[in-house]
Amino acid sequence: MTLMELIGNAPWREAVTYSDTWPHEYVLLRKDNQRELFAAMTRRFKDGEGVRGRFFSIRPTYVFLGEYKYWFDPPLEDLDSLREDEEYVLNRARLFYDRRDFIIQPGDTRFPEDYPAAPPLSGRQG
């Protein structure tokens, strides 16, 4: 099965806690039995397709496919490094097609009219 087929067949669920602020969906590695999808996605990250971003104080690595950006929680680059006592999450959010796909900063919301000043693309802010 191709990666896009695996994504299409996954049982994505809405992250209801964030539905009003930062809407996204997720799928679970163990509970949803998605080892094949997680293996395919970790290959993308390992092959260098990941792009470092910033979500407030967190520095996730995103992979962009189709209309979505994807990230792992906790960060996961190799299925060989799985901890048996932890569940792994693959998240996805629709692309904004603006800087919020890479950098979210204090004052940002999901609404373009609420943008704070444009941040630098790298480095720390004061």
Of residues 107, 125, 126, the one with CA closest to residue 116: 107
Tens digit of pLDDT for each residue in 79-117? 777 888 889 999 999 987 777 777 777 777 777 676 666
| Model pTM above 0.85 | no
> What are the E-state strand segments in the chain?
13-14, 25-28, 51-52, 54-55, 61-65, 68-73, 89-94, 103-104
Quote the CA–CA distance of 12 and 104 in Å, as a whole number.
23
Q: What angle is formed at CA 35 by the lines to CA 103 and CA 13, rounded to 5 degrees?
A: 55
Quote the CA–CA distance of 43 and 46 in Å, as a whole number.
5
